[in-house]
Amino acid sequence: MPAEPVGSLEVVELRAGYGKTLILDGISFAVPTGGRLALLGRNGVGKTTTLATLVGQTTRHGGGMKLDGVELGGMNSSGRAAAGLGYVPQTRDIFKSLTVEENLVAGLKGRPRSALEEAYALFPRLGERRRNGGGELSGGEQQMLSVARALLGKPTVLLLDEPLEGLAPVICDTLMAALSKLDMTIVLVEQQVDRALDFADRVVFLDRGRVVHAGPAAQAKADPALLERHLGVALAA
Ligand SMILES: Nc1ncnc2c1ncn2[C@@H]1O[C@H](COP(=O)(O)OP(=O)(O)OP(=O)(O)O)[C@@H](O)[C@H]1O
């Protein structure tokens, strides 16, 4: 019997924020199993808040979010991770005082140590640096470590918050090439709009906590007026 498809995400009329402050004002979107969604918008429109809400780090005021049909709203963060959500926050929260390998072990979640080879296969650089401290790594290496650690938990949906921030173009290339090999559902928040639209199959634009456009990524990339309207930028020709 074929395995059940897993990793479908559905967000319905989600309202959430920080304490009483409402930031997300009824957002809805869906990502099918294996889909790649770019979540874009100007600064401060609620992209990080959307990912943080999915993993249970904000106050939910209404609406819901389902992973493979199971409502996540009532679960705490570790329950959501166990349900299949992987999260790579903007802060790249690796342990700087631990080695690369120790950081990865912290992401194993009960899996055998041999699973570390998956991380080293995806990012050979981490294998070379396995005995270095997290604090000794370059920004790009720290980001690789942050992504690799999230992947070791075997998520079915990976949430990535601005993974390319502050990285040199050649490192961005390496990271995006590795992410492109992943066979899972991905939601990507990213300021590098052209790279995000190349990576994703669909895009959602947010503005002030609402969805203002949803559609195919390629179509958005070919529509400078749309990008200008929702991002205030035009892509280089
Ligand atoms: N911990 C917090 N407490 C209160 N308000 C917050 C908190 N974090 C973010 N906000 C506010 O929520 C709004 C949305 O912020 P969010 O970080 O989700 O935006 P964003 O679209 O990810 O923008 P950016 O690209 O700047 O990260 C902003 O007005 C921000 O000031």
Cβ(208) – ligand 1 distance below 6 Å: no
C-alpha to C-alpha distances, 202 to 43, 187, 214, 220, nearest whole angstrom: 20, 10, 7, 9
Angle subtended at Cα 170 by Cα 164 and Cα 173, rounded to the nearest 5 degrees: 60
The ipTM estimated for the assembled molecules is 0.96
Does residue 129 lie in a domain region?
yes
CATH number at residue 200: 3.40.50.300
Gap from CA of 75 to ligand 1 centroid (Å): 23
Nearest residue by C-alpha to atom 25 in ligand 1: 43
Cβ(44) – ligand 1 distance below 6 Å: yes
Does residue 7 lie in a domain region?
no
Q: Give the count of domains, the chain.
A: 2
Gap from CA of 200 to ligand 1 centroid (Å): 23
Exposure of 160 in the CB half-sphere (CA atoms within 13 A): 30
Based on the fold, state whether residues 78 and 195 are members of the same structural domain.
yes
Q: What is the pLDDT of residue 91?
A: 86
Domain carrying residue 201: 16-84+155-237
pLDDT tens readout for residues 141-197:
999 999 999 999 999 999 999 999 999 999 999 999 999 999 999 999 999 999 999
Q: At residue 20, what is the residue type?
A: K
Does residue 3 lie in a domain region?
no
